[in-house]
Structure 1
């Protein structure tokens, strides 16, 4: 059997796939040839396979450095379900002595550890007398101080790997711009020709961005259209708990909170329930998610803006990792950007300009009338088509209108009222509303009083949001608005202002959202069996089989184990473990 044929046979036997996807084959080939690589691959592109398959084929153990215990345990379950000899060495593992013995005896294909352990001299000593085949560094953007999840311990890994110069390194991430990629490769000692860039597009995710007016109602509508598991990101612990409680009441769905302030046992139980479920929605701070390898998340919603486009891409990338249709929706308000710009003052001066540029890029994504996916992909250096056909701006095109004159009126009102009043008061002044506070302040006698009416008045709020997102209006410590950014240039007539006027949104269920487009009762029977099998094995349902594999069973209706084993996603270990039960269910239908 030729080398390539042997690799493809191992791919089929271990993972149940007849062919590689995307750039997987190139990354695997480099690992098998002993070459070090930084692979930038979109979430859902099968990054873990690129080190798991070499670990099965090569002599020795692959050491996987991963940032979170929960992520390691998720990947451990999936690896073992595919018949891979894997273990974790973490502070949460009671069987650490057995793991160490198995490693020393050469009985492990994969050993998962955290960077905090991997960077210690004692761990280097532990590895020194055993056979290693590969170092895999997961979530490798954490290595870079330019990355959005910088972890100092990741920067100490070079010493460990340099102690084993013949062992290749495979760094993996879904999220790294040019600057971050260069830094990761320099820090980990990967040559410039070691970059494999698989692209950033996730075509199965539908992107949408809306103004936030009533988040409970807006999320209720989303959840009514998406019965599968979902993640809602909120910006504070208080908002997490408030939203989780209100959504559970409003929707009748199981909704759980997750944040660092919860009792550790409650937090772990909520995470475990979500991972094992087919319908739970979890409301969380951004601390949640990197440790989740759950492929069947049907939507990710942000209530508030994330920290950057990199963060947004990483967080929305947790939806639809199984390749089925999924939604990423953001509900934002002007105050989100005001708060974010205030935080810039707390950032180290050396990083402040870069962080400001990231915030400006995020504002551009939020405000654009262009294709969202195109803006997102261009940020990562790609040259995408101008329309994707699967974002809100492509499906329901927005119009752009010139509001330069209205902007000058609003900014004049801000200036003439002393740069200390909020938008509600400014609207009253501009539209000529003589309420008591306006008269008391003498603002009814200003030249800007009553100079906005009709259609212009309806554009004041979206204009205010746009100017705050761009930093031309900034929030004061007492909640008022002051001039910032290019405000004075706008007032002098040196800058024009355009804003997006969103269309009226149509409502209704997406035709492609259902996991069972076939409409076949056999599919539902197989899902019920999968749930029963998963509960008995104490693993999440997706570890048994993905929905896509169940759809293949429903469509092909195999009659023998051999026919079942030819379907994608069914490797030898899973065929042996579950094949007869699923064949029986197919026969009964």
Structure 2
């Protein structure tokens, strides 16, 4: 990347200079190399792929993302930089208009969920454009969700392969396991991707784990943590199942004297999920109790405490949950509560999935049993060479 190109990118997005990680990724993308970029929140992964729009203003970049919140955020960032962008999702009144703009080559960036990729109307509109870059953001979803929860992730590679031109493919995440890199590259039809690893450990985030022998002890730990952080910022409590979310809410109301209005809940079966999430985002509710359905694309700056009240299904899943705290750079805490019953429940839930899922559950259980520092042990699970 030349100094002139770097200056153009910085001017386009209102930043003073590029970080070393960003320079390395952008240089490879500009040279036509596929890239897998791994770095923590705040390292500027999105600038890496948005910069490709500035370098190819007359062509199209397609971003594939898991949530509407992420899409909307990126569209807003593009519009702030005078980039013509749009996103497609269910219930969006602009969907028809966006397809029309795409047909006539009037978009520079399009953001979609993987489920949209099999829409024949969208495909015809895309074919009217030259696609220079395909971006798969939060690419850990490919390995965590593709088998059951979001099967369309398996079709992203076919979509890329079927494009008439051969775009550069860029994939990004903060949490990709070392052993998943080759799987991601193969699934997305990446050609010898350059792997760039930025900083993965967040110095402002403290991780702790506590073995809870009984449910009474588990709830007691939750109560103690909530009281400690009551006046420090917002709190998120993660539970494994929908029934656990409901029970945790009842406990906070009945045993912790927390008003119902201060609590929001989120899970996949909730009819008013958007309303509940908005209550938490706006600050009307200071505590969110949720399954892993809540979080992707969440960028609330003042979450000070994350309580993962039961053992998650992988180290990556735990670090994704923990990573929602302290987005403002101030000190924050993530507390993992676990026991053998959690471990067995997870094995029972995933018993019919693949060996990789079982290995991931076993890996996190081993980390919890060890005396190693939790933060260091989690980081060790991911692709190496990060700081």
Q: Same fold (TM over 0.5)?
A: yes
Query: What is the root-mean-square deviation of aligned Cα atoms in Å?
Result: 2.8
Give the number of aligned pairs: 376
Unaligned runs of 5+ in 2: none
Aligned pairs (5 A) from 1:132-171: 132-144=131-143, 151-162=150-161, 163-171=163-171
5 Å-filtered alignment, 1:134-283, equals 134-144=133-143, 151-162=150-161, 163-212=163-212, 213=217, 214-224=220-230, 227-247=232-252, 250-251=257-258, 254-263=262-271, 266-277=272-283, 280-283=286-289
Residues 148, 310 of structure 1: 8 Å contact kept: no
Contact 1:146–1:180 (Cα < 8 Å) also in 2: no
Q: Residue 10 of structure 1 aligns with which residue?
A: 9
Tell me, yes or no, if the aligned pair for 1:297 and 1:326 is still in contact at 8 Å.
Answer: yes
Q: Check the 8 A contact 1:119/1:157 in 2, yes or no.
A: no
Q: 1:321-470, aligned counterparts within 5 Å?
A: 321-343=327-349, 346-348=351-353, 351-352=354-355, 354-382=356-384
Equivalents in 2 of 1:295, 1:15: separation in Å? 21
Structure 1 residue 128: deviation in Å? 0.9
Provide the secondary structure at the position in 1 that maps to 2:180. Answer: helix
Listed as ranges, the matches of 1:494-533 within 5 Å are none
Task: Give, in whole Å, the separation in 2 of the partners of 1:47 and 1:63.
Answer: 16
CA contact (8 A) 2:145 2:151 kept: no
Give the 3 Å change call, closer, same or farther, for CA 230–128 of structure 1 in structure 2: same
SS at match of 2:292: coil
Match of 2:61, SS state, is strand
Rate the CA distance shift 1:186–1:5 in 2: closer, same or farther, 3 A.
Answer: same
2: CA distance between counterparts of 1:7 and 1:16? 12
Aligned equivalent of 1:131: 130
Q: TM-score, normalised to structure 1's length?
A: 0.58
Provide the C-alpha distance between the structure 2 equivalents of 1:334 and 1:144, rounded to a whole number of angstroms. 25
Matches of 1:368 and 1:383 in 2, distance apart?
23
CA positional deviation for 1:177? 1.4
Matches within 5 A, 1:295-306: 295-306=301-312
* SS of match in other structure, 1:48: helix
| Structure richer in strand, relative to its length | 2
Q: CA deviation at 1:120?
A: 4.2
Tell me the equivalent position of 1:55: 53
Q: Secondary structure at the match of 1:250?
A: coil
- 1:34 aligned to 32, 35, 43, which one? 32
1:101 & 1:384 partners in 2: Cα distance? 43
User: Does the CA-based 8 Å contact 1:72-1:88 persist in structure 2?
Assistant: yes
C-alpha displacement of 1:121: 4.5
Please give the secondary structure, in 2, of the residue aligned with 1:224: coil
SS at match of 2:207: strand
> Could you say which residue in structure 1 is the equivalent of 2:21?
23
8 Å CA contact 1:216–1:246 kept in 2: the answer is no
User: 1:355 Cα shift?
Assistant: 3.8
Contact 2:102 2:125 in 1 (8 A): no
Q: Deviations over 1:110-169 (max 9, x none)?
A: 211111111445433221112333111112223347979873212212232222433211
> Offset of 1:342 from its aligned partner?
3.7
Q: For residues 157 and 301 of structure 2, what CA distance do their matches in structure 1 show?
A: 31
Q: Does the residue aligned with 1:76 lie in a helix, a strand or coil?
A: helix
Secondary structure, aligned partner of 2:96 = helix
Say whether the 8 Å CA contact 2:206–2:334 is kept in structure 1.
yes
Provide the rounded CA distance (Å) in 1 between the counterparts of 2:170 and 2:347.
37
Residue in structure 1 matched with residue 322 of structure 2 by the alignment: 316
Moved more, 299-308 or 68-77: 68-77
CA deviations over 1:223-275 (Å, ceiling 9, x no partner): 326x2233210122232133235436634582201112221xx2101112323
1:402-443 deviation digits (Å, cap 9, x = unpaired): xxxxxxxxxxxxxxxxxxxxxxxxxxxxxxxxxxxxxxxxxx
Q: Shift of residue 203 of structure 1?
A: 2.2
Conserved 8 A contact 1:378-1:384 = no
Residue in 2 that maps onto 1:480 = none
Q: Distance in 2 between matches of 1:161 and 1:302?
A: 36
How far apart in 1 are the matches of 2:61 and 2:383?
A: 32
5+ residue gaps, structure 1, are 386-589
Q: 1:28 to 1:229 in 2, by over 3 A?
A: farther
